[in-house]
Structures are given as C-alpha cells and as structure tokens.
Amino acid sequence: MPPGGFSRTRNVDYDDDDAYDDEDDYSEEGEGGDGMTEHDKEQMRVGTTRVRQGLGELSEFTSDAQIQEALWHYYYDVDKSVVYLKNKLGTTEPKQEAPKKEKATSRFDQAASVADQKAPTTTGKQTHPQSSWLEESAYRVAYLSPPPISMPTNEAIGDFFWDVPWGNVPLHRLGVITLDTPRYRGGLLGGSSKLAALAAKRRKDREEAEAAATKANSEANAAVAMLDKLTVKSKEPTSNLRGGDTERPSRARYPGRRRSRSRSPPPEAIDEAILKPAVQQPAIVCELPAQRAKASMFASTLCGGSSTAARRPFPTLEVFPAPYTIYKEYDSAKAFASPSPDDIKKRVQGEKLAQSVEKLAVADEPKVKSKNLNVVQEFEKSGLKRMANFVVVGHVDHGKSTLMGRLLYDLKVIDQRSIDKLRKEAENIGKSSFALAWVMDETSEERSRGVTVDIATNYFETDKTRFTILDAPGHKDFIPNMISGASQADFPVLVIDASTNSFESGLKGQTKEHILIARSMGMQHIIVAVNKMDTVSWSKARFDDITKRMTAFLTEASFLEKRITFIPLAGLTGENVVKKIESSAAHWYTGETLLEALERVELPKRNLQKALRLSVADVFRGDMRSPLSISGRIDSGTVQVGDTILALPANETATIKAIEVQDAPVDWAVAGQIPTLHLTDIDPIHLRQGDMVCAPNAPVKLVKAFTSKLLAFEHVLPMPVEVFRSTLNSPGGIRTLSARLNKFTGEIVKKKPRIVKPGEVARVVVQLERELPIEEGMRVVLRERGRTVGAGLMENVA
C-alpha cells in the first residue's frame, strides 16, 4: 500500500505513542542522571559483581562502566544486564535472530521495501547518517551565538551544577543543556517511531542489496555496514527483553549510526564505540535527561510551582551550542557534500509516489462513465413488466391508508411479524384499527394523530404488473402533498366510506376536490373502492346508491362512464381486496377484486422519445455514498447513469451517479417510472422540491407569467393564488381574466369577464412570484384559501 491517507494517520498514531514512551524514558533516566543515592551505589556495586559472574569469560572484555550502565538501565536486573552485555559483545544466540525474521511486515513495509528495492541504489547507507548528522549541526550552528561551552559528561553533571541552587538554575546553564527532543529518540531505551524503524529497515535492505551487488565499494563502507548490522543485532534482544516490544526492533540504530559517522572509526574502534555507548554518547544524549529532570517531578516537588523549569516549560533555543563542534571531525566533515536524506527519500520515492498517487486519484474520483445505451431500445428489449403508478385518494378517514396496508399485507409484501409489531404498537396507544394504516403512515406525527400527512410510496408486483402505490393524505390541509402525489400517478383509486353520513360528508369535502384534481391532472381512468362495506352489512342498496351518485358526479367531471370501475370492499378485514368475498351477504357481487381491477386498467402512453422532463418530488440525503438524491416521476424521456441533467430554476447541471427504481439499482429509467437519481457535481442548495429536471440540450423555459385555459371550480377573480405544477408549489396570482371560453369548442364567449363562475372555462393570465420552469401543455392547479379554484392548461408565455 502506498502511503495513502490511511497509513498516514496510522503513522501519526505511532508517533504519538512514541512521544509518550520517550517521556517515560526520560524520567526514568533522568532520575539516574541526577546522582546516585548511597543505596543506589551499593546496589550498583553488588550488581556489577553479579554481572561479571554472569558474563563469565566475557567479563574481561567488559568495563565496569558498561556494566553499571546496563544495570542502571535495567534497574539492577542482573539477568537482563547480562544478556544485554552478551549481545553487545556479539555473542548473540541464533534464536535471537528469529523474532526479527518472524516479525510480520505490514503492508506498508512491504510496499516500502519493494519501492526501495526498485529504487536506484545510488545512495549508500553512509550518506544518510552523514547528511542527517550534518543537517543537525548546521541547524545548531545557525543558532550558535554564545561561545560553545564544553560539554559535561554524565559524571560531570554533578560538578557542573555544584554551585547552583536547586530549582534556580541560571539561564545560561539552562541553555547549555537545552534539550533537543527529536535527537534523543534513538536512545538506548528511548522509543523510536515506527516510521523511523521502517526507514531504517528499508535502508538496511537496500544496503544489503547493494552490498550483494557491488561487494562493498570501499573498506570504510563495508566497515560501516558491518557496524550497522552489528548494532541492529545487538539491539534486538534488548527490545525483546524489554517486554516483547517486537514492533520496533531496530529503533536503536540511530545512536549507533551517529557514533559511527561522527567518529568514522576504524573497524577496531567500532567495537569500542559500541561497547561504550554511555561513555561516548553522553555529550550528545545523556545530558538531556538531566535537563529534563529539572522540569520533571523531582524538581517541581522540591521547588514547587515556582521553579524555573515550571515557569519556562520550554527552554528557549536561542542559546544553543553545537556540542560536536568540539570534535575535530566536525571541521573535516563536508556538510552538504551529499544530498540531504529528505532529498534522497524524495528522489527514491518521488516518482514512485507520484505515480501511485495518480493512480489513487483515478480510483478515488467517482468519474461516472456513461454506458451510452439506447435506452428506448433497451427498454423494449428488456421486456419489463407493465409499470403502473396509482394514487389513492379520497376524503379523510375513509380508509385509504388502511386499504393499502391490507393490500400489501395480503400480497405478502409486508410480513406477518411487522404487522404484529404495528398492531401491538397501535394497541398500546389505543388505536388498534390503525395498525394497517401504519404500514403507510410512518412518522410519529402521523401515527399519534392518526392522519396521513404526506405521500407514502410503496411497491408491489403481480405476475403482469409492477405497481407503485402513492398513498395520498385525505385531510384538506395536505392537499398540496396530495397534488404532488397525484402528479406522479397514472390513475387514481378513489376510496369512499360507504357508511352513512361519511359518504355524504366526503362528497362535499375532499372526495370531490380530489376527483377534480385527479381529473385536471389528465387522468382518464378511475377505480372507485367503496370501502367499509362491512359496516353496512354489504347492503346492495347502499352500494347501488353510491354507484349512481358517484357516476353522476364523475361524468360531470368528464370521466367517461366506461372508464369508471366500482368495487365494494372492506379494507380493514380485507374482503374483495385481494381475495374475493365469501360472505353470503355479498353474494350479489360477482365482479372483480381491487387487485384484478388494478391489473386491468389501461395505462396512458409513455413519451419515451421526447426530451427528458422530471419533476422533483423529494430531495434527500441517501447514504454516505450518495449524499444527494432526488426522486420524482419522469414525465417524458429517458435517463441513464452518467447522463448530465439540468436542474431548473437553479439552472445548474448535475451528473447522474446511479439510478434506483423501486429500490433496485438499474442503469436507466424511462418515462412513467418514479426513479431515485443519485447525483454528483451539484450543490444541494440548487435542488428543491418542485424543481424541473431536464436534458441540458432541451431545457424548459423559465416564465414569470403565462396564459392558461382555466376550468374554474370556484369563483375566479383576479386574485392571489397558489400555483401547483406537478410537485411544484409557488405563490402567484391571477393577473387578468382575458376571456371566457366555450367549454367544448374553445371559442371566446366573452372578453374580459368580470368574474368566472364555477364550471366555466376561461383564459387567464397567471403571474408567478418568481421565474419558474413551466412549458406549454403542462397542467397547473390553482388554489386559494385552501380551496382548489381551478385547473389550468398552460398555453403560452404571457
């Protein structure tokens, strides 16, 4: 895996851990540096003897100082110190090699090492330490204003501070021992980042490869390489012993590397260098713990909050001596002779990285590829079932939602378990009869009030047809929602409550209004479900009465009698919905069930060839993958994945990322379907319910005013109205009444009428509050004060 975002975060985590570890180490070691108590000294003495015993014959190669150092680090743990020292002396047991090999390399490591191996091997291992070393020196030199003060060794610290009171260290001395956190990280027990370990490992790999290929360029190189290996090996067990910290086996390589560079010792000296890390290192590393201790708990306990360290938690870097300037190698070192490690890294990884990043970018960008299908052909080829969308309308509380719940339940779209759950919930609030309606009414508002508020969409399928149910609210306040639902449907199912008074009140109320709206949307067929027949004990007389009166009303609303179907049924109990009624009381009815009637309805022709027109019914956030989705019925035309669409009135384009029809992903959708389009390349603020989505090459014009033929349901005067066009709902007004027309011929009967009475047809000018996409032939519904005053057909732009 190339260093993508994920691995980067991971590394940061590791670094954090390490920083924490480092601090622990500091405090541990720091205490040591402060000077030893009598007890410590005694322990040290005893420990040294024991270690010598443990080391046996090797003990003669080991100095006291080394042993003491080891003991100090291991808290006088003799065994550990012995092992450590043995390792140091190069007598590592073979088994200690094992863990390193076993160490599972992460994917990052693998990738990194691969990248390394492939990378040009011009950079010897030597250049790395050198340049990093010198970079640091350069840095320090830059800040070097006071003359360098000779560096005290570990043992000398006490002397150095002999005249200094606790917690009141003079500023210049503080400066001398300013800490440099990053530099310490390679300390004996100090943590090193995973990244550093990886880098080291990589370097080692590369260097090994190089060594194998060129068999060592120079003696010096070989020596250093040997040293390097040696160091790594010797560190290995240390970390193992420290508690199975196998994650960072080679982190201790930095000190070793530094030493080797700073001294560039001959091979004999290397051993020396390794064997006496504590003696030679302190100038650079070990003085730091001492400083750290000043700021640590010990100092603060002694001096309280007013200690210098506490007041200045971060010593300024201004007085910063370069400790190694005292070494003569410093002068001879060619600081910028070779590229900096950053440069090398960049060169090694640069192209590789750039390439992989490019690849990544390509993978990340959800460039939507259009399949360039001929959707009309595809549609004809696919042999899809008939698709029908119907809207369930009727007066409030006539049982629309319950009837649909029953239909879905009987068709096993809703399983028994869900129904039982709903039934239980409904019983809990004492509305058990609402259980079936709750299949459609899902919001808490709807359930607590027992009224449908917004359109509910659901799907079911028979052998021949795939149906979409649009369950409309019956309450007069929610007619705007009903209109948006009706605009997406092919035909209405009118639900009528057969019980006494209910039918009559409905006829005055929304039964009538819904029929008018459905008719003005251009629907030709209607199924009238005479519901709650069980409450009138399936009385034929009642059914006939309702049939007669409704037929009269529907034909008046210009539905053709042959396109009206009446079905007596009971939604709550389910007779004649899917199953035929078996009750003897209803023997007089031999007609079809609701389901059969639904399957029989003729559907209007779909305008597949025309330009795309889709009226947005809903804008919502789908999920993580599709942050912006719209749904709505395609009135004409087709869409497919990858298409660019134009959203009006915002006049913004978007790309279709995916299409869903009836909750199933598809490649295309055609007129008559109600797809969900997942969009990209558009800001959500450009999309609203009621917007028009169309093809960019055939946009709908935005109009501010238009003339319309209007069929009045109420008295119409020039007045403010709400204009509904499909799902769009906008304030506007009737500006002028141009003429009254003959209902059937369309001739002008009277110019400039004063008022248009119900049932009359007139030509009016409708003014909109702002420019909206409306084109010729679109149907509009005008409402005022909660009443539908008329239905119009857009004629032209005024």
Partner 1 sequence: MRLLKSQIEQKTGAGWATLLPEEPEDMWHAYNLIQENDRIRAKAVRRVSKTSDAGSTSSQRITLDLTIAVTSTDFDIGSGQLHVSGRVAVENEHVKLGQHHTLDLELNRKFTLEKADGWDSVALEMLKEACDNDKRAELWAVVLGEGTANICMITEHQTILRQRIEMSVPRKRKGGVDGHSKGMDRFFSTTLSTLLRQIDLPNTSTTQQGKMLPLLLASPGFVASAFLAFIRAEATRTTNKPLLALIPSIIIAHSSSAHIHSLNEILSSPAITTKLSDTKYARETALMDKFLTLMRQDDGRAWYGPREVERAVDKGAVGRGGGVLLINNALFRAQNIAERRRWVKLVDRVREAEGGEVRVLSSLHESGKRLEGLGSIAAILTYPLEDLDEEQEGDDVHGGEGENGEMII
Q: Does 742 bind partner 1 (CB under 8 A)?
A: yes
| Contact status: 743 vs partner 1 (CB under 8 A) | yes
Closer of 194 and 447 to partner 1 (Cβ): 447
Residue 793 interacts with partner 1 (CB under 8 A): yes or no: yes
User: Which residue stretch of 13-21, 334-342, 452-460, 643-651 sits at the interface with partner 1 (rule: CB under 8 A)?
Assistant: 452-460
Judged by CB under 8 A, the residue of 73, 88, 475, 542 near partner 1 is 475
Q: Hunting for tokens 């239980």 — which residue is that?
A: 424
Using the contact rule CB under 8 A, the part of the chain among 45-53, 154-162, 640-648, 743-751 near partner 1 is 743-751
Residue 412 Cβ, how far from partner 1 at the closest point, in Å?
16
Of 410, 427, 690, the C-alpha closest to 569 is: 410
Nearest to 136 by CA among 357, 341, 410: 341
Per the CB < 8 A criterion, the answer to whether 175 and 318 are in contact is yes
CA atoms within 13 A on the CB side of 159: 7
Gap between the Cα atoms of 534 and 362, Å rounded: 64
Residue range at the interface with partner 1 (CB under 8 A); choices 34-42, 242-250, 645-653, 711-719: 711-719
Q: Which amino acid is at 428?
A: N
In the block, residue with structure tokens 């010198």: 134
Between 443 and 537, CB nearer to partner 1: 443
Whether residue 323 contacts residue 283, with contact meaning beta carbons closer than 8 Å, is answered with: yes
Question: Is 21 an interacting residue with respect to partner 1 (CB under 8 A)?
Answer: no
Binding residues among 515-554 for partner 1 as defined by CB under 8 A: 520
Using rule CB under 8 A, residue 617 touches partner 1: yes
Backbone angles phi, psi at 395, to 5 degrees: -65, 160
Partnered with residue 720 across adjacent β-strands are: 733
Whole-number minimum distance, CB 757 to partner 1, in Å?
A: 7
621 counts as binding partner 1 under rule CB under 8 A: yes
Please calculate the CA angle 725-731-732 and round it to the nearest 5 degrees: 90
Tell me phi and psi for residue 316, to 5 degrees: -70, 150
**What are the backbone angles phi and psi of residue 176, rounded to the nearest 5°?**
-60, -40
- Residue 114 found at the interface with partner 1 (CB under 8 A): no
Question: Which DSSP symbol is given to 327?
Answer: S
Min dist CB 350 to partner 1, Å, is 46
Q: How far is the CB of 498 from partner 1 (least distance, A)?
A: 27
Closest CB to partner 1 among residues 457, 655: 457
Selected binder of partner 1 within 710, 772, 781, 789 (CB under 8 A) = 710
Cis peptide before 649 (omega within 30 of 0): yes
| Least distance CB 484 / partner 1 (angstroms) | 9
Measured CA to CA, the distance from residue 103 to residue 565 in angstroms comes to 78
The only residue of 148, 265, 480, 696 in contact with partner 1, by rule CB under 8 A: 480
- Cβ nearer to partner 1, comparing 469 with 586: 469
Is the Cβ–Cβ distance between 635 and 671 less than 8 Å?
Answer: yes
Among 173, 263, 423, 709, binds partner 1 (CB under 8 A): 709
770 contacts partner 1 (rule: CB under 8 A)? no
Q: How many residues contact partner 1, by CB under 8 A?
A: 65
Q: Is 663 in the site for partner 1 (CB under 8 A)?
A: yes
Position 757 contacts partner 1 (CB under 8 A): yes
Torsion sign across C-alpha atoms 218, 220, 223, 228 = negative
Please choose, out of 213-221, 529-537, 566-574, 708-716, the segment that lies near partner 1 by the rule CB under 8 A.
Answer: 708-716
Alpha-carbon distances of 226 from 122, 127, 230, 387, rounded to whole Å: 19, 15, 6, 78
Collapse the DSSP code of 492 into the 3-class scheme (helix H, G, I; strand E, B; otherwise coil) and give the result.
strand
Which tokens sit at 88? Answer: 């140091």
What mask, x for binding partner 1 by CB under 8 A, covers residues 667 to 706? -----------------x--xxx-----------------
User: Smallest distance from the beta carbon of 762 to partner 1, in angstroms?
Assistant: 10
The single residue among 741, 764, 772, 774 that binds partner 1, judged by CB under 8 A, is 741
What letter represents residue 350's amino acid?
G
CB of 299 to partner 1, least distance (A): 47
For position 19 contacting partner 1 by CB under 8 A, the verdict is: no
Residue 115 touching partner 1 (CB under 8 A): no
C-beta of 186 vs 733, nearer to partner 1: 733
Q: Which residues pair with 529 in a beta bridge?
A: 495, 567
Q: How far apart are CA 687 and CA 649, in angstroms?
A: 9
Q: Does 785 bind partner 1 (CB under 8 A)?
A: yes
Which string of DSSP letters, residue by residue, matches 410-439? HTTSS-HHHHHHHHHHHHHTT-GGGTTGGG
Of 631, 653, 643, residue with least CA distance to 368: 643
Least spacing, CB of residue 439 vs partner 1, in Å: 10
Considering the rule CB under 8 A, would residue 764 count as an interface residue with partner 1?
no
The DSSP bridge partners found for residue 615 are: 692
Binding mask 320-359 for partner 1 (x = CB under 8 A): ----------------------------------------
**Of the candidates 751, 770, 771, 776, which one interacts with partner 1 according to CB under 8 A?**
751
Task: In angstroms, give the least distance from the CB of 139 to partner 1.
Answer: 52
**% helix, strand, coil for the chain, step of 5:** 45, 20, 35
Please tell me whether residue 559 binds partner 1 under the rule CB under 8 A: no
Instruction: Tell me: does residue 512 bind partner 1 (CB under 8 A).
Output: no
Is residue 389 a contact point for partner 1 (CB under 8 A)? no
Give the integer Cα–Cα distance in Å for 35 and 149. 22
Give the residue, chosen from 8, 242, 579, 750, that forms a contact with partner 1 under the rule CB under 8 A: 750
Measured from the Cβ of residue 443, the count of other Cβ atoms closer than 10 Å reads 12
Q: Pick the closest to residue 254 from 300, 212, 203, 298 (CA basis).
A: 203
In the complex with partner 1, the residue whose CB is nearer, 378 or 714, is: 714
| Phi, psi (rounded to 5 degrees) for 631 | -135, 155
Nearest-approach distance from CB 705 to partner 1, in angstroms:
13
What are the residues facing 491 on neighbouring strands?
A: 390
Q: Interface with partner 1 by CB under 8 A: which residues?
A: 442-446, 449, 453-458, 475-478, 480, 520, 558, 617-621, 663, 684, 687-689, 709-711, 715, 717-720, 722, 731, 733-735, 741-752, 754-755, 757, 761, 783, 785-787, 791-793
